[in-house]
Amino acid sequence: MNNNSVGIVKPHFFTFAEPPQEMPLDSGGRFGPITLAYETYGELNDRASNAVLIAHALSGDAHVAGRHSAADKKPGWWDYMVGPGRPFDTDRYFVICSNVLGGCKGSSGPTSLNPHTGKPYNLDFPVITVGDMVRAQARLMDHLGIERLLCVVGGSMGGMQALEWAIEFPQRVACAIPIATTCRQNAQGIAFDEVGRQAIYADADWCEGQYSSQGRRPVKGLAVARMLAHITYLSEESMRQKFGRRLRQKEAYGFDFRTDFEVESYLQYQGESFIKRFDANSYLYITKAIDYFDLQRDFGTVEKAFAHVSARFLVLSFSSDWLYTTAQAKEIVRALKINHKNVTFCEIPSSYGHDAFLIENPQMMKIIADFIGHVYQEESAR
């Protein structure tokens, strides 16, 4: 195992909001009990001033780094960023990552058992928002004894959570690093999410959301939803470089409807691997939360949304990301500057599209390491 790895890690679970103290939701209802699955790396210092919260994207989970056993074939989803000497240096920082409310990897979501029925919630689970996810995370920070986070960082939906943290809890965040994200989901993003949801609805095994994890599940619909979404995570250039029009194990067209092209095979693989680790109803809930994310609607204008933030910001975008473009990142930067907030912005050249934040990139790594290191020094001197 790499000397810079965090090594073998184990998940933890925190349950709160037990009735009658259920957590208020943006929908107007209340919900509890709530369990969050989370992992931690490094040690919290005596002042509890070195905590970094990493927020995951749509299909992510709490397992951001290390391995759950020596037999694990793959490390956590952002492993190269977390560990001794890495940008989120675990010799220096205490790193936390939790599975979001509504998820399917240990946190309360539609696959969780409803204590009133003893059966999975399925569509009886309440519709949640990114704000609800963040307020649940805040309860976890309370549980861990962390009053103020050194940093909240995340890409895509994780970036939305970073923005929400800085706005909802301005005194609890020293710096925020939203990556490849937006201040509101646009019509194109909503459209892609809706087509994905329709693919799940159209699967006969969806059963109006009342399927069982022990029986037939809407895996075909979920696979199609993942295939569609994955296209938005790539760029035309990366697909051309990786696949072009190359044929799969043949030299001529088959003149049938079997798989001809390498790119077809790749997308099928993405769909097939996704259904092994994700739940269709969770996909519905999380994409709906993303679609509801709109700081302009919540505050009247994007500028008003950032009026009371106190965190320093590092906003990053990628040149080939057409899902959450550099123009959308600059809208965040512009709103912060209008409010005279401390913000640094960088567009990172990359041909990998939206998924670039998940791919090892020396420029991104150095920018983040330098930024958080500078904030840490300033916070330590307070």
Residue of 156, 238, 317, 320 with catalytic role: 156
Instruction: Check residue 355 and report its DSSP letter.
Output: G
Residue of 89, 317, 354, 355 with catalytic role: 354
Distance of CA 230 to the CA centre of its chain: 14
Q: CA-CA distance, 82 to 96, in Å (whole number)?
A: 10
Distance of CA 177 to the CA centre of its chain: 13
Q: How many CA within 13 A on the CB side of residue 360?
A: 5
Contact by Cβ (8 Å): 23, 32: yes
Q: CA-CA distance, 98 to 38, in Å (whole number)?
A: 4
List the structure tokens of 321: 């990301």
List the structure tokens of 332: 């965040």
The three-point CA angle 293-297-303 to 5° equals 100
Whether 89 is catalytic is no
Whether 321 is catalytic is yes
The three-point CA angle 337-340-345 to 5° equals 40
Nearest Cα to 222, choosing from 205, 239, 243, 247? Answer: 205
Torsion sign across C-alpha atoms 252, 255, 257, 263? positive
Question: Which contacts (CB < 8 Å, 24+ apart) does range 271-274 have?
Answer: 271/222, 271/223, 271/224, 271/226, 271/227, 271/230, 272/223, 274/59, 274/222, 274/223, 274/226
Residue of 89, 260, 321, 355 with catalytic role: 321
Whether 354 is catalytic is yes
- Provide the annotated active-site residues: 156, 321, 354
